[in-house]
Amino acid sequence: MKNQQVADILFRIADILDIKGEIFFKVRSYRVAGRTIESMGKDIEVVIKEGMLRDIPGIGEALEKKIKEIVETDQSEYLEKLKNEIPEGVLRMLGIPGLGPKKVSAIYKHLNITTIEDLKQACTDGKLRNLDGFGEITEINILRGIQLIEKTSGRALLNMAYADGNILVEYLKNCDRVKQISIAGSLRRRKETIGDIDILVSSDSSEEVMDFFVKYNDVQQIIAKGSTKTSVLLIDNLQVDLRVVKPESFGSALQYFTGSKDHNIKMRNLAMKKGYKLNEYGLFDKKTDEYIVGRNEEDVYQKLGLAYIEPELRENRGEIQAAIKNQLPNLVKNGDICGDIHIHSNWSDGFDTIETIVSQSKKMGHEYVGIADHSQSLKIARGLSEDRVIKKREEIDKINRKQDDGFRVFCGTECDIKSDGSLDYSDSILEIFDYVGIGIHTKFKMTREEATSRIIRGMENEYVTFVAHPTCRMIGRREPFDLDMEEIFDTAKSTGTCLEINSFPDRLDLNDIHCKQGKEKDVRFVINTDCHRVENMEFIRFGVATARRGWLEKSDILNTYILKEIEKSFGV
DNA sequence: GCCGTTTTCGGCCCGACTGTTTTCAGTCG
């Protein structure tokens, strides 16, 4: 049983209790425990085996018992009982923006509506307006909310939100009332998917900023407009929240609106313990309400006795304790990457020539690049036959001889791991390459044992440098393999194999949690794009962001090595 | 449901916006 599945059951229990009208704090306990388990670096089964479940903050006697039951039996008797009380469709209504537990409960109890389809009809027929606390506008808003979830299915990939957010920031800079501006929220933390874009501005004239904001060309609909907060929907269905604060509050507001929620709760508690009160307007003396700091985010952390915590770390995964002890990692930066070694050229299914890729790499300031085309059995992607491997080797040697600036092209491969774990080239061919990446591209349906041993057998080949996109997940399209990551990390360590952080926005594989877990086992990583056209080489920043979210430092990553070092590592 | 050198009972982060009210509840982040 995976951590995510345990968390999902806890979230479900919380939703039902919420609709039933259970006390807020009880409901919150289930959600807090769910979030902790979901983002925990350690396998929940291992935690239970070690008898450490109760040591996790937020898990007491009752939750311990329920979580153990879930892990042992794959289900929860308590949830099964609760499910009989609230129909599935009613739970789904909680996902509609603007609808919370109280309204959903009223809709279910008084009108006996149990599906979103029926709710839509009831709104159209004007049946909701007679309920206490409901009106005509409520009906319209619910209809809009239903339309929205039907259209967007929730969250956007990081690159989409990143592009939208940056263009919008540039637009807002044209408003002369804007003093300071920053992206905040999950986009600033570089989460792999983004629910909505948060932008923070400091200004002495918020009304004018808000007016300027809603006139942005790509605004489809204004959801809410006030003097401190305005929300709009862009034409690509991404929601943007703009907050405006006074300059003296910009730092504390940036801290507050960057989140995460759990990080902020920890921060507020810490502030309280130290005799302060922390909110988006600043850090205040708890007794006298006197303003202490708030202009800069750094000051807030410093005043609370903390080293500055980079946004990517703010997930309540131990960063506050580390900041107290001044033991935060020195995170890897975009500029630390010296070359991308997983790029497809037109020798297989890539779009560009090797020369074009070289020229783009130089533009990005890299010292080298690795061309890793597909191997022979992947016919659909024009995988290279053994003959063509030799020809490609000759072409790369020729290109290298032409470089007069010390730049180097490495000849690599993304060799298929066949279903039994053997590799798609013989050792005598693998020897031709400067380095070997291996990856799975066929037969994705496997048990945990099969998938784990398939990858491990691949890693045991002496020519292998790294495993590409190890879990093979595609965000929103394909679930990750159920892998025994502990075993994968141990083998990576013992064989000296790197694990890839694939930067493509719909992969981000390994993810942040894997990175942190792997680092604790002293595993080395490599950050690549796996791109098939040079326009996408800039996606490397999303891989770096994922590594940062996983607490990785420059020394944890193979392709931060300068040319001389990586040549030595490849033995070429 | 969790938690504790101020507490084993009584707290638990908190402010903005909306829509419904006529002073506030619900939702959101």
Q: Integer distance in angstroms from CA A120 to C1' B22?
A: 31
Is nucleic acid strand B under 7 Å from A466's C-beta? no
Half-sphere exposure of A448 (CA within 13 A, CB side): 8
Starting at the edge strand found earlier in the chain, the sheet holding A282-285 runs A276-279, A282-285, A291-293
CA-based radius of gyration for chain A: 26
Given a cut of 70, whether residue A562 has pLDDT beyond it is yes
> What pLDDT shows up at residue A189?
95
A66-113 pLDDT tens trace: 999 999 998 899 999 998 998 988 998 988 888 888 899 999 988 999
CATH superfamily of A156-245: Beta Polymerase, domain 2 (3.30.460.10)
Tell me how far apart the alpha carbons of residues A241 and A255 are, in angstroms, rounded to a whole number.
16
Residue A179: which residues within 8 A CB-CB, separation 6 or more? Answer: A201, A202, A203, A204, A247, A250
Could you identify the residue written with the tokens 């790029």? A343
Q: Integer distance in angstroms from CA A408 to C1' B3?
A: 59
Given a cut of 90, whether residue A40 has pLDDT beyond it is no
Sign for the CA dihedral angle at A559, A562, A566, A572 comes to positive
Given a cut of 70, whether residue A154 has pLDDT beyond it is no
In sequence order, what E strands does A103-150 have? none
Nucleotide nearest to A66 (CA to C1'): B1
Give yes or no for a contact between A283 and A277, defined as CB atoms under 8 angstroms apart.
Answer: yes
Tell me the CATH number for domain A3-152.
Answer: 1.10.150.110
Could you identify the residue written with the tokens 């008797």? A77
> What pLDDT shows up at residue A1?
60
Give yes or no for a contact between A412 and A434, defined as CB atoms under 8 angstroms apart.
Answer: yes
Tell me how far apart the alpha carbons of residues A338 and A336 are, in angstroms, rounded to a whole number.
6
Q: Could you tell me the end-to-end alpha-carbon distance of chain A, in angstroms, rounded to an integer?
A: 44
User: Dihedrals φ, ψ of A393, to 5°?
Assistant: -55, -45
Tell me how far apart the alpha carbons of residues A518 and A499 are, in angstroms, rounded to a whole number.
9
Given a cut of 90, whether residue A479 has pLDDT beyond it is no
A231-246 pLDDT tens trace: 998 888 888 999 999 9
> What pLDDT shows up at residue A266?
87
The stretch A148-171 carries a mean pLDDT of: 86
Nucleotide nearest to A57 (CA to C1'): B2
- Chain A span 436-455 residues with beta carbon within 7 Å of strand B: none
Is nucleic acid strand B under 7 Å from A18's C-beta? no
> What pLDDT shows up at residue A153?
64
Given a cut of 90, whether residue A3 has pLDDT beyond it is no
A308-344 pLDDT tens trace: 999 999 998 889 989 998 999 999 999 999 999 999 9
| Residue of A27 and A394 predicted with greater confidence | A394
Bridge-partner residues for A437, per DSSP? Answer: A414, A466
Given a cut of 90, whether residue A262 has pLDDT beyond it is no
What secondary structure does DSSP assign to A256-291, as a single string? HHH--HHHHHHHHHHHHHTTEEEETTEEEETTT--E
A373-395 burial code (b ≥16 CB/10 A, e <16): bbbbbbeebbbbeeeebeebeeb
Tell me how far apart the alpha carbons of residues A372 and A436 are, in angstroms, rounded to a whole number.
8
Nucleotide nearest to A281 (CA to C1'): B15
- Angle (nearest 5°) at CA A343 between A499 and A461: 40
Is nucleic acid strand B under 7 Å from A87's C-beta? no
| Residue of A525 and A53 predicted with greater confidence | A525
Is nucleic acid strand B under 7 Å from A277's C-beta? yes
The stretch A162-171 carries a mean pLDDT of: 95
Nucleotide nearest to A228 (CA to C1'): B16
Q: Integer distance in angstroms from CA A158 to C1' B1?
A: 35
Residue A223: which residues within 8 A CB-CB, separation 6 or more? Answer: A231, A232, A233, A239
Is nucleic acid strand B under 7 Å from A221's C-beta? no
Tell me how far apart the alpha carbons of residues A482 and A452 are, in angstroms, rounded to a whole number.
8
- pLDDT band, very low/low/confident/very high, at A376 (cuts 50, 70, 90): very high
Is nucleic acid strand B under 7 Å from A367's C-beta? no
CA distances from A515 to A258, A330, A332, A453, A556 (A): 22, 15, 12, 20, 10
Is nucleic acid strand B under 7 Å from A53's C-beta? no
Q: Which helix (H) or strand (E) holds A216?
A: none
Tell me how far apart the alpha carbons of residues A48 and A65 are, in angstroms, rounded to a whole number.
11
Sorted by where each begins, the domain ranges of chain A are 3-152, 156-245, 259-324, 334-570
> What pLDDT shows up at residue A553?
98
A382-440 pLDDT tens trace: 899 999 999 999 999 999 999 999 999 999 999 999 999 999 999 999 999 999 999 99
Tell me how far apart the alpha carbons of residues A529 and A513 are, in angstroms, rounded to a whole number.
19
With distances taken from each CA to the C1' atom of nucleotide B18, the closest residue turns out to be A224
Given a cut of 80, whether residue A229 has pLDDT beyond it is yes
Q: Is A488 helix (H, G, I), strand (E, B) or coil?
A: helix
Tell me how far apart the alpha carbons of residues A570 and A572 are, in angstroms, rounded to a whole number.
5
- Find and list the nucleotides of strand B having atoms within 7 Å of a protein beta carbon: 1-3, 11-21, 25-29
Tell me how far apart the alpha carbons of residues A292 and A280 are, in angstroms, rounded to a whole number.
13
CATH of A334-570, one of 3.20.20.140, 3.30.70.1050, 3.40.50.12780, 1.10.287.3510: 3.20.20.140
- pLDDT band, very low/low/confident/very high, at A155 (cuts 50, 70, 90): confident
Nucleotide nearest to A257 (CA to C1'): B29
Could you identify the residue written with the tokens 């809603």? A214
Fold of the A259-324 domain: Beta Polymerase; domain 3 (3.30.210)
Q: Integer distance in angstroms from CA A246 to C1' B6?
A: 36
Is nucleic acid strand B under 7 Å from A23's C-beta? yes
- The mean of the pLDDT values for chain A is 92
> What pLDDT shows up at residue A261?
87
Is nucleic acid strand B under 7 Å from A199's C-beta? no
> What pLDDT shows up at residue A152?
61
Residue A409 token pair: 């092209």
Is nucleic acid strand B under 7 Å from A135's C-beta? yes
